[in-house]
């Protein structure tokens, strides 16, 4: 294994700046690593070696001229397949978009390119980001690098698996109910869901527009901050994007890494611990909270009584928006087109029906039906309307909790990675994975998941939540936890991961 | 079908009008594509108006401004805070399979428009005016009806998708009785005048900038309940609005008189045959699953902005009509006819271009009204501008043509032969007042009619008419009749006293 792929993005950026390596060299190293391990992991749906190397060459030329497009110029990255990319397919893990190459870049993708980051490829995901295991991808599941029999979380299992398998130093994910944080937790990586509106959604194929947010998927907190700084900030193409400067997330990560949390008030959310959480997960959480106290933080217990309704509200709002968003996949303009069998000269409606039947998987159909029902006249008030009221109450719970604490903490996911297929036939059990992550999406507040250790040999995540626009706080606390724990472990948690079977690559 | 008058002896009609106005903003409602009419199919498009996965809308501020100005001109309240909503339904010319519209939070609501009908004022109450985006345009190829059913294939042009629309919805208009068709027509006409005065749309019905849906129901006379309505879609001329209301009144009356129930449905209007036919059945249960558009932030116009926009409104139409009537010196009847013919704006512009008020009225309401009627189009659709009409009148005033020749100039302009002066030139229509040519013709006429000439010499000046007629005939009408008379009398030594 090339030493380069083990390094953090910040280290790679420094090595590039020192002339110790070139972007072409480290891009090639990652492409080799992908070729070696991705047969087993299946983190990628599409790899663009040619495009990545071309961008790497440009980066090296830029550096040779003494110029730099960003702090991460030349460091390669993987992109979740829900973000549009010129020159690369964007399938959202769905058959219905197989082979679709968008004519435009998502704003975040454009910012990566402008920052000089070679794009390695597109990562696997649950179809249209619907799932917590990446098993709902139409192109087959991604495997957890810690145990190939297990799920890498979802929906962004591909991005999390790519960074934890050292097949990318950085990746972009999207988080609607936990799709960045829960995969980070179960793969021992770092994932951040920024404040809603903090990062442009233009070019993010929407599942639920009022909940979706793009964010960094990395191995270190500082890397996440560097990526956040690059892609964040106002975008005139996204009306919901916030027209304010990005908080100083890099500075906050560096400050947190000193390990000093004196003066910080940490709230443990009563409703997000205890019952329903795997014993080992709870144990790692409690230990981490103890570390925060050691670092000087004041820990209090806070109650968010309406969080118990968060999952129910989420599973009304999200499918409602999704049912409308997914209506455009009708075979009329792009993507899959299926003509019904045995129908001569089928009508537009018949082609739409046949295409949607063949092109969408079961989980997508389930949510379209749920959402269509929830929005129907006569049911709207009882379902969608009521869910929005709960959403308001959850925001109020957060507001009250943030009166008592600067940040809130919880385990990221109730369990460690489960086996592939284990919950596939039990949607409700699958939905419970996002219990602790969903409230942040409903309220639009930022959250991070950092590794908290292992339970039965599998990674556990520690979640930190902060008030909207105070993204810097999650980086500060996340970095403090990282520093304390890696000191205790004698290195990153991922060093404890078993070696992956590799395919010999001819060079 | 029941006779119209008979129908209104038994039933009270209730009207409802939904008018879609396409705004003339430079760009579309939610993206930067040009909103211009036409263009090669699918050239004014981008990811957003094509509804490509991942694209997002951004509200056009100019469209919001136009919507507020329309709302204010219709005496509406303006929402302090309102949202867009998604109207969900599947149709191939809708890129997202939902239309971004407004639902229970329109930008403008609770207004009215006072409409003049034959000297009487009807107050049409406006329920709401809201913003939305247009859909693409489907062309169904093959088949006989031009509709989707039976077509071989369909083509969709998304240039129109996303063009800003304002939909103006009236409350049920009751109590118009036998005047219901005229009220409907006058409302659409006067609404169009208002839109034009605001300058927010080209408001051309023939190009679909202004499209009217006519809702109609009948209730037994004296009943205070509304009957089941039909919605006749896309009635695209003033005259058709009137005809469609008449037709639907007769149709509903026949159904109800036979003891049957009117079906709640949309209907298609057929301009050529003057009838409506059944479209899709529509019940109140049709479920668009509206919910607030999560990709857009609420529209919250400040009170200060709204007041600034109020300051930009054109004159109130009723006050304006009174002012113009006084300025022009029109009688009540003349004014009513002018408004009724939809010629108010045209006459006003013609006068502004230099014509005397009575002359402007005369041309539009007689000569041009006759031609519009023959062609079955609106006055405003004729291929002549108020400036051209004013110029033709100026040619008459200058003595270059007479009324008879002026009609030929109208022919030429309407036939696309160019400006009035060019038509006069090309057709050789100018009146001859050159004494040399006239003198020769007069001599010829005297020589050809010696007995008439003798009578005139003898003092029977009235006999000159016969000679004038002969000269005019020879000059093919292009002679200044007054000058011909003078020459005849001069040459025959007869004075008029």
Percent above pLDDT 90 for chain A = 94
CA-nearest residue to A210 within chain B is B294
For the stretch A261-278, pLDDT in tens is 999 999 999 999 988 899
Is the CB of residue A84 less than 8 Å away from at least one CB of chain B? yes
Nearest to B97 among A90, A238, A327 (CB): A327
Give the pLDDT of residue B224: 84
Structure tokens at A141: 């599941």
Size of interface A-B (CB pairs under 8 A): 103
Which residues are A450's β-sheet partners?
A: A462
Position B147 scores a pLDDT of 65
Measured distance CA(B81)–CA(B189) in Å, rounded: 31
Task: Please list the active-site residues of A.
Answer: 80, 155, 179
| Chain B: closest CA distance from residue A482 (Å) | 34
Pseudo-torsion of CA A393, A399, A403, A406, nearest 10°? 130
A395 touches chain B (CB under 8 A): no
Average pLDDT over residues B420-443: 82
Q: Tell me how far apart the alpha carbons of residues B13 and B216 are, in angstroms, rounded to a whole number.
A: 7
Task: Decide if A375 touches B, using CB distance below 8 A.
Answer: yes
pLDDT confidence tier of residue A506, bands split at 50, 70 and 90? low
Q: What band does B148 get if pLDDT is binned at 50, 70 and 90?
A: low
Domain count of chain A? 1
Mean pLDDT of A77-102: 98
DSSP, collapsed to helix, strand or coil, labels residue A190 as strand
Interface contact A203-B54, CB threshold 8 A: yes
- Residue A268, both tokens: 């443990």
Q: How far is B139 from chain A (nearest CA, A)?
A: 13
pLDDT recorded at residue B145: 62
Q: Could you tell me if residue B127 is left (phi over 0), alpha (psi between -120 and 50 degrees) or otherwise beta? A: alpha
Per the listing, tokens 């250790």 go with A453
- Whole-number Cα distances in Å, A450 to A265, A440, B156, B377, B398: 19, 16, 50, 73, 92
**Paired tokens of B65:** 């401004």
Q: Report if residue A485 sits inside a domain.
A: yes
pLDDT surpassing 70 at residue B68: yes
Q: What is the pLDDT of residues A24-63, one digit of tens each?
A: 999 999 999 999 999 999 999 999 999 999 999 999 999 9
Confidence of residue B281 (pLDDT cuts 50, 70, 90): low
In a domain, residue A345? The reply is no
Cβ–Cβ below 8 Å for A205 and B97: no
Q: Which residue of A has its CA nearest to B90?
A: A327
Tell me whether residue A436 is in a domain. Answer: no
- Nearest alpha carbon to residue A156 among A47, A81, A88: A81
What is residue A281's predicted lDDT score, i.e. its pLDDT?
97
User: Residues of A with CB below 8 A from B148's CB?
Assistant: 347-348
pLDDT at B321: 85
**A204 contact residues in B (CB cutoff 8 A):** 54
Q: How do the domains of chain B map onto residue ranges? A: 13-214+285-309, 315-427, 435-491
What is the reported pLDDT for B97? 96
Q: What is the pLDDT of residues A427-442, one digit of tens each?
A: 888 888 899 999 999 9
Segment A308-322, tens digit of pLDDT: 999 999 999 999 999
Residue A434 domain-assigned?
no
Residue B167 near residue B19 (C-beta atoms within 8 A): yes
Question: At residue B313, does pLDDT exceed 60?
Answer: yes
Residue at A403 is within a domain: no
Query: Are B118 and B179 within 8 A, CB to CB?
Result: yes
Using the predicted structure, report yes or no on whether residue A215 has a pLDDT greater than 50: yes
Axis-axis angle for helices B386-397, B420-427 (nearest 10): 50
Restricting to B residues 303-322, those with a Cβ less than 8 Å away from any Cβ of A are: none
CB pair distance less than 8 Å for A380 and B291? yes
pLDDT at residue B318 above 90? Answer: no
Omega prior to A155 cis, within 30 of 0: yes
Q: Please give, rounded to a whole number of angstroms, the shortest distance from the CA of B81 to a CA of chain A.
A: 16
The region of weakest confidence among A92-96, B270-274, B455-459 is B455-459
- What's the first-to-final CA gap in chain B, in angstroms? 68
Closest chain B residue to A242 measured between Cα atoms? B297
Band the pLDDT of A69: cuts 50, 70, 90. very high
Taking CA–CA distances from B32, the nearest residue in chain A reads A237
Q: Are A290 and A370 in contact (CB under 8 A)?
A: no
The secondary structure of residue B316, as a DSSP letter, is P
> What whole-number percentage of chain B has pLDDT above 70?
96
pLDDT for the residue numbered B488: 86
pLDDT greater than 70 at residue B285? no
Query: A327–B90: do the CB atoms touch at under 8 Å?
Result: yes
Alpha helices (H) along A343-502: 348-359, 362-375, 386-404, 427-431, 438-443, 471-489
A380 in contact with chain B, both atoms CB, cutoff 8 A: yes
pLDDT at residue B284 tops 60:
no
Parent domain of A31: 3-258+446-496
Look up the ipTM and state it. 0.95
Element (H, E) at B138: strand B137-141
A76 to each of A8, A202, A322, how far by Cα in Å? Answer: 11, 22, 32
| The listed CATH number (1.10.10, 1.10.238, 1.10.3470, 3.40.50) that belongs to domain B435-491 | 1.10.10
Per-window interface: B 168-227 vs A, CB < 8 A:
none
B32 touches chain A (CB under 8 A): no
Per-residue tokens: A128: 């249209």
Dihedral (CA of B242, B243, B249, B252) sign = negative
Q: A334 to chain B: nearest residue by CA?
A: B52
* pLDDT, tens only, B254-268: 999 999 999 999 999
In DSSP terms, B232 is beta-bridged to B214, B267
* Partner B contacted by A100 (CB < 8 A): yes
Q: A238 and B154: CB-CB below 8 Å?
A: no
Between B485 and A230, name the one with better pLDDT: A230
Of A84, A239, A347, the CB nearest to B54: A84
DSSP string spanning B329-373? T--HHHHHHHHHTT-HHHHHHHHHTT--HHHHHHIIIIIIHHHHH
User: Residue B497: its pLDDT value, please?
Assistant: 44
CA distances to A308, B39, B338, B341, B378 from B361, in Å: 75, 37, 7, 11, 16
pTM value is 0.88
Nearest CA in chain A to B284: A377
The CATH number that applies at residue A33 is 3.90.1300.10
- Whether B98 sits inside 8 A of A97 (CB atoms) is no
Residue A1 confidence (pLDDT): 43
A461 occurs within a structural domain: yes
Distance (Å) from the C-alpha of residue B290 to the closest C-alpha of chain A? 7
Res. B317: pLDDT tops 80: no
Residue A23 lies in a domain: yes
Structural domain includes residue A62: yes
| 8 Å CB contact of B58 and A103 | no
């Amino acid at each position: 294994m090339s030493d380069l792929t083990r390094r953090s993005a910040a280290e790679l950026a420094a090595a590039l700046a020192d002339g110790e390596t070139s972007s072409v060299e480290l891009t090639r190293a990652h492409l080799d690593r992908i070729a070696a391990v991705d047969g087993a992991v299946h983190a990628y749906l599409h790899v663009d070696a040619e495009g990545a190397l071309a961008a790497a060459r440009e980066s090296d030329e830029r550096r040779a001229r003494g110029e730099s497009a960003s702090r991460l110029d030349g460091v390669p990255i993987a992109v979740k397949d829900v973000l549009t990319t010129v020159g690369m397919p964007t399938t959202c893990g769905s058959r219905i978009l197989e082979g679709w190459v968008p004519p435009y870049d998502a704003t975040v993708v454009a910012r990566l390119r402008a920052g000089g980051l070679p794009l390695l490829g597109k990562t696997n995901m649950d179809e249209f980001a619907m799932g917590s295991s990446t098993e709902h991808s139409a192109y087959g599941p991604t495997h957890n690098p810690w145990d190939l029999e297990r799920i890498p979380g979802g929906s962004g299992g591909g991005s999390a698996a790519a960074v934890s398998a050292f097949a990318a130093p950085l990746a972009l994910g999207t988080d609607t109910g936990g799709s960045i944080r829960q995969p980070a937790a179960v793969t021992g990586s770092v994932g951040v869901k920024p404040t809603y509106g903090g990062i442009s959604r233009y070019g993010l194929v929407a599942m639920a527009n009022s909940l979706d947010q793009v964010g960094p998927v990395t191995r270190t907190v500082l890397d996440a901050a560097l990526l956040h700084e690059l892609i964040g900030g106002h975008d005139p193409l996204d009306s919901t994007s916030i027209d304010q400067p990005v908080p100083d997330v890099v500075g906050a990560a560096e400050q947190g890494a000193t390990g000093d949390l004196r003066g910080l008030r940490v709230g443990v959310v009563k409703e997000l611990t205890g019952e329903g959480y795997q014993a080992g997960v709870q144990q790692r959480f409690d230990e981490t909270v103890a570390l925060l106290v050691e670092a000087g933080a004041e820990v209090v217990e806070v109650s968010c009584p309406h969080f118990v309704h968060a999952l129910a509200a989420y599973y009304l709002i999200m499918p409602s928006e999704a049912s409308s968003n997914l209506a455009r996949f009708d075979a009329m303009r792009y993507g899959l087109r299926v003509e019904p069998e045995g129908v001569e000269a089928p009508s537009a409606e018949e082609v739409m029906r046949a295409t949607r039947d063949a092109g969408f998987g079961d989980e997508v159909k389930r949510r379209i039906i749920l959402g269509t029902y929830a929005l129907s006249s006569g049911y709207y008030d009882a379902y969608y309307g009521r869910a929005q009221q709960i959403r308001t109450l959850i925001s109020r719970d957060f507001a009250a909790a943030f009166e008592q604490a600067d940040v809130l903490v919880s385990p990221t996911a109730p369990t460690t990675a489960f086996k592939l297929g284990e919950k596939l036939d039990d949607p409700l059990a699958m939905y419970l994975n996002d219990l602790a992550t969903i409230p942040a999406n409903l309220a639009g507040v930022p959250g991070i998941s950092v590794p908290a250790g292992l339970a039965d040999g599998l990674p556990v995540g520690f979640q930190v939540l902060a008030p909207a626009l105070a993204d810097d706080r999650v980086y500060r606390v996340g970095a403090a936890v990282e520093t304390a724990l890696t000191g205790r472990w004698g290195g990153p948690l991922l060093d404890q991961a078993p070696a992956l079977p590799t395919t010999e690559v001819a060079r | 079908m029941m006779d119209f008058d008979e129908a209104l002896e038994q039933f009270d009609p209730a009207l409802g009008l939904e008018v879609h106005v396409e705004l003339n903003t430079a760009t579309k409602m939610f993206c930067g594509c040009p909103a211009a009419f036409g263009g090669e199919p699918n050239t004014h498009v981008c990811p957003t108006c094509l509804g490509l996965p991942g694209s997002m809308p951004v509200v056009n501020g100019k469209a919001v401004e136009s919507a507020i100005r329309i709302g204010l001109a219709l005496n509406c309240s303006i929402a302090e805070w309102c949202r867009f909503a998604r109207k969900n339904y599947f149709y191939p010319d809708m890129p997202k399979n939902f239309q971004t519209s407004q639902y229970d939070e329109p930008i403008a609501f609770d207004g009215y428009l006072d409409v003049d009908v034959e000297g009487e004022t009807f107050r049409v109450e406006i329920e709401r005016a809201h913003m939305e985006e247009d859909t693409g345009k489907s062309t169904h190829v093959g088949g006989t009806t031009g509709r989707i059913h039976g077509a071989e294939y369909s083509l969709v042009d998304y240039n129109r998708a996303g063009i800003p629309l304002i939909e103006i919805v009236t409350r049920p208009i009751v109590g118009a009785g036998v005047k219901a068709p005229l009220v409907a027509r006058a409302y659409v006409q006067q609404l169009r005048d208002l839109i034009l005065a605001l300058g927010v749309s080209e408001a051309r019905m023939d190009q679909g900038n202004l499209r009217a849906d006519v809702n109609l129901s009948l209730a037994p006379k004296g009943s205070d309940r509304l009957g089941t309505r039909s919605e006749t879609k896309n009635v695209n001329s003033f005259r058709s609005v009137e005809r469609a209301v008449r037709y639907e009144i007769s149709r509903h009356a026949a159904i109800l008189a036979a003891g049957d129930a009117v079906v709640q449905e949309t209907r298609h209007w057929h301009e050529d045959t003057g009838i409506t036919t059944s479209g899709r059945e529509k019940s109140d249960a049709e479920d668009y699953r509206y919910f607030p558009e999560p990709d857009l932030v609420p529209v919250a116009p400040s009170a200060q902005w709204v007041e600034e926009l109020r300051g930009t409104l054109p004159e109130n139409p009723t006050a304006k009509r009174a002012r113009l009537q006084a300025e022009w010196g029109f009688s009540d009847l003349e004014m009513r006819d002018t408004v009724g013919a939809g010629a108010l704006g045209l006459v006003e512009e013609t006068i502004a271009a230099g014509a005397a008020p009575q002359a402007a009225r005369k041309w539009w309401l007689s000569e041009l009204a006759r031609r519009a009627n023959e062609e079955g189009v609106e006055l405003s659709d004729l291929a002549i501008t108020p400036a051209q009409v004013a110029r033709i009148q100026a040619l008459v005033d200058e003595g270059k043509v007479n009324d008879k020749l002026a009609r030929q100039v109208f022919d030429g302009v309407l036939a696309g032969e160019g400006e009035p002066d060019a038509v006069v030139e090309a057709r050789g229509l100018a009146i001859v007042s050159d004494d040399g040519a006239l003198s020769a013709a007069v001599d010829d006429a005297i020589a050809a009619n010696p007995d008439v000439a003798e009578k005139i010499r003898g003092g029977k000046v009235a006999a000159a008419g016969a000679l004038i007629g002969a000269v005019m005939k020879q000059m093919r009408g292009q002679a200044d009749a007054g000058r011909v008379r003078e020459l005849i009398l001069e040459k025959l030594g007869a004075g008029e006293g």
